[in-house]
């Protein structure tokens, strides 16, 4: 179903895309709206695509910021884990068309090797174009996350909306020695696994809580 | 087929037209020996290059460049216009598989000031690119894309339209057509794109119904009325 006009007006407005996203979230809360995966996804993708298009059109934004981190602190949490990893070689899974968290990691770790992995062709094409345009030195890989060989990586970050996180996390922990950071619920415990509750379930949908 | 996959996989840049030419069952693809895994690989390549063509076209428009021609996107629009849209006087069209840069929708909107087109596609990036493309082109009120699988269209949604257009790449095309036929309002028309020259990649329309016009029938109408064959895009020739 299309987004209701109110939300379309916001995502297509002149607001900075991340601000537009947060305004949508505020409207969802004030409407006491039941959100399903499709609804959230539509807003997230609209935001990311707008960011990507803006980056391609206008160049580098004033700064990169994690618009999806409504509670704040996600970046610092990432840094607190990754600062201790030497010779960082990061796989970033499910970055979408504008993998802003990977961009923030690039700024924090200019020497790190970073690879964005996505199974959506448009996400792959757009993120590749943005990375090239902004000269961020991040590799991109179009494939299913579960099919990747994670053994060369020493850190893997899994985005909240990735589906099948349980299986993916298990595979990464089993086949590599990487530190794994996952946003959203997973039913796995491991000393190399770090979880940040984001309200997204294993299947990538918005959780009930 | 395996050899072809190997050769194409080794290319630095895979061109859509080249892929169409290599796999055209009336041309170079006629003697390809079918192989399941090679066919899967070719399907993935086809899907990739087609999507790339679509997304790059949308991206260029959003970056301020002019809209590329349908030919650049390896599609024709005249056939559909002449045999379907110009005769239908439609007011509300549902375009299934509208993608990021729906060439036929933009072609029709330019020529028909009344029609409103809703597009659905299973790829959210595509519909969001299309959403922003429509806004950029001043078509927000007339071109409304959203993310949905056509098989989940409710009967009420289907009844809301007087016409339907189905892209070549949509799957399962015939199942979707049957669902539309079951729930559509009386007299609503359906156009089903297909590609006879690449049946392994683009499902042929096998359903027959008086309210359904498949591309092959459209080409027959064109030939009958104009006395010449409809010129197919490069790589899709039928002889």
Total residue count of chain A as it appears in this document: 209
Report the pLDDT averaged over residues B161-179.
97
Question: Is the pLDDT assigned to residue A202 strictly greater than 70?
Answer: no
Question: Is the pLDDT assigned to residue A151 strictly greater than 70?
Answer: yes
B18 in contact with A, Cβ within 8 Å: no
B158 in contact with A, Cβ within 8 Å: no
- Positive or negative, the CA dihedral A89, A92, A98, A101 is negative
What domains, with CATH codes, occur in chain A?
Answer: 5-58 (no CATH), 74-196 (3.40.50.150)
Contacts of B129 in chain A (CB under 8 A): 49, 53, 122, 126
In the structure encoding, which two tokens stand for residue B203, read together? Answer: 């499902």
Residue in B217, B171, B193, B164 with CA at minimum distance from that of residue B74? B193
The answer to whether B128 contacts A41, with C-beta atoms less than 8 Å apart, is no
pLDDT at B167: 96
**Helix, strand, coil: what percent of chain B each, to 5?**
45, 10, 40
Report the pLDDT averaged over residues B226-236.
92
Provide the β-strand partners of residue A156.
Answer: A91, A180
The predicted-structure confidence for B39-49, as pLDDT tens digits, reads as follows 999 998 998 89
Contacts of A8 in chain B (CB under 8 A): 131
Q: Where are the domains of chain B?
A: 2-62, 78-226
pLDDT band at B169 (very low <50, low <70, confident <90, very high): very high
pLDDT band at A209 (very low <50, low <70, confident <90, very high): very low
Helix (H) / strand (E) containing B214: strand B212-214
Within the 62-81 window of chain B, which residues sit less than 8 Å (CB to CB) from chain A?
62-64
The predicted-structure confidence for A40-75, as pLDDT tens digits, reads as follows 778 888 899 999 989 988 899 999 998 888 778 889
Q: Residues near A76 by Cβ (< 8 Å), separated by ≥ 6? A: none
- At residue A190, the 3 state secondary structure works out as coil
What percentage of chain A has pLDDT greater than the value 90?
63
Surface-to-core class of residue B115, CB atoms within 10 Å of its CB (0-12 exposed, 13-18 middle, 19+ buried): buried
Report the pLDDT averaged over residues A140-165.
94
Report the pLDDT averaged over residues B184-201.
96
pLDDT at A114: 98
Report the pLDDT averaged over residues B147-170.
96
- Whole-number Å distance between alpha carbons of B32 and B200: 12
The answer to whether B52 contacts A121, with C-beta atoms less than 8 Å apart, is yes
The predicted-structure confidence for B65-115, as pLDDT tens digits, reads as follows 888 887 777 778 999 999 999 999 999 999 999 999 999 999 999 999 999
Could you tell me if A38 and B122 are in contact, meaning their C-beta atoms sit under 8 angstroms apart? Answer: no
B126 in contact with A, Cβ within 8 Å: yes
Q: Residues near B44 by Cβ (< 8 Å), separated by ≥ 6? A: none
The answer to whether A41 contacts B146, with C-beta atoms less than 8 Å apart, is no
Residue in B63, B80, B141, B132 with CA at minimum distance from that of residue B101? B132
Residue in A20, A60, A52 with CA at minimum distance from that of residue A120? A52
The three-point CA angle B180-B147-B80 to 5° equals 50
Q: Residues near B224 by Cβ (< 8 Å), separated by ≥ 6? A: none
DSSP per residue over A13-25, as a string?
A: SSS-HHHHHHHHH
More confident residue, B14 or B168: B168
Helix (H) / strand (E) containing A31: none
pLDDT band at A198 (very low <50, low <70, confident <90, very high): low
Which of A26-35, A186-195, B13-22, B206-215 shows the lowest per-residue confidence on average (mean pLDDT)?
A26-35
Report the pLDDT averaged over residues B34-59.
89
pLDDT at A205: 46
Report the pLDDT averaged over residues A136-165.
94
More confident residue, A160 or A115: A115
- Whole-number Å distance between alpha carbons of A132 and B62: 17
Contacts of A99 in chain B (CB under 8 A): none
- Whole-number Å distance between alpha carbons of B160 and B115: 13
CATH class of B78-226: alpha beta
Question: Is the pLDDT assigned to residue A36 strictly greater than 80?
Answer: no
Of A2, A49, A126, the CB nearest to B146: A2
Which of A36-40, A84-88, A115-119, B27-31 shows the lowest per-residue confidence on average (mean pLDDT)?
A36-40
Q: How far is CA B215 from CA A28, A80, B106, in A?
A: 43, 59, 19
The DSSP secondary-structure symbol of A145 reads G
Contacts of B147 in chain A (CB under 8 A): 38, 41-42, 45
Which of A194-198, B57-61, B132-136, B150-154 shows the lowest per-residue confidence on average (mean pLDDT)?
A194-198
Contacts of A59 in chain B (CB under 8 A): none
- Whole-number Å distance between alpha carbons of B152 and B146: 13
Task: For B128, name the nearest residue in chain A, comparing CA atoms only.
Answer: A46
B144 in contact with A, Cβ within 8 Å: yes
B153 in contact with A, Cβ within 8 Å: no
* Global ipTM: 0.77
B100 in contact with A, Cβ within 8 Å: yes
pLDDT at B213: 98
Residue in B92, B130, B121, B94 with CA at minimum distance from that of residue A38? B121
């Amino acid at each position: 179903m299309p987004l209701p006009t109110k939300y379309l007006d916001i995502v297509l407005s002149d607001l900075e895309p991340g601000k537009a996203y947060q305004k949508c979230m505020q409207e969802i809360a004030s409407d006491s709206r039941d959100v399903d995966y499709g609804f959230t996804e539509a807003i997230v993708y609209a935001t990311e695509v707008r960011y990507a298009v803006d980056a391609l059109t206008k160049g580098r934004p004033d700064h990169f910021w994690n618009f999806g981190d409504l509670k704040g602190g996600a970046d610092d949490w990432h840094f607190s884990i990754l600062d201790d990893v030497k010779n960082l070689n990061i796989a970033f899974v499910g970055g979408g068309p504008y993998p802003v968290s990977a961009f923030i990691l690039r700024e924090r770790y200019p020497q790190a090797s970073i690879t964005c992995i996505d199974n959506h062709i448009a996400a792959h094409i757009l993120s590749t174009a943005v990375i090239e345009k902004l000269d961020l030195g991040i590799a991109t890989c179009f494939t299913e996350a579960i099919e990747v060989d994670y053994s060369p990586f020493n850190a893997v970050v899994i985005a909240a909306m990735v589906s099948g996180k349980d299986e993916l996390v298990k595979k990464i922990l089993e086949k590599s020695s990487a530190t794994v950071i996952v946003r959203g619920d997973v039913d796995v415990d491991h000393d190399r696994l770090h979880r940040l509750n984001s309200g997204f379930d294993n299947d990538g949908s918005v959780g009930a809580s | 087929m395996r050899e072809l996959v190997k050769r194409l996989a080794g290319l630095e840049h895979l061109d859509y037209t080249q892929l169409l030419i290599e796999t055209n069952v009336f041309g170079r693809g006629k003697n390809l020996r079918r192989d399941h895994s090679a066919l899967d690989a070719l399907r993935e390549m086809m899907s990739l290059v087609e999507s790339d063509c679509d997304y790059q076209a949308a991206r260029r428009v959003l970056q301020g460049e002019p809209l590329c021609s349908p030919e650049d996107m390896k599609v024709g629009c005249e056939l559909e216009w002449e045999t379907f849209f110009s005769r239908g006087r439609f007011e509300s069209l549902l375009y299934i598989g509208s993608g990021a840069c729906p060439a036929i929708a933009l072609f029709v909107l330019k020529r028909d000031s009344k029609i409103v087109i809703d597009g659905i596609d299973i790829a959210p990036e595509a519909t969001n690119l299309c959403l922003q493309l429509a806004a950029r082109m001043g078509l927000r009120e007339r071109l409304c894309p959203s993310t949905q699988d056509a098989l989940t269209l409710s009967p009420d949604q289907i009844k809301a339209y007087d016409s339907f257009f189905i892209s070549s790449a949509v799957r399962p095309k015939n199942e979707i057509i049957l669902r539309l036929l079951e729930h559509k309002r009386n007299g609503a028309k359906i156009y089903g794109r297909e590609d006879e020259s690449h049946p392994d990649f683009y499902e042929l329309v096998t359903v027959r119904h008086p309210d359904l016009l498949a591309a092959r029938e459209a080409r027959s109408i064109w030939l009958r009325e104009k006395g010449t064959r409809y010129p197919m895009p490069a790589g899709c020739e039928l002889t």
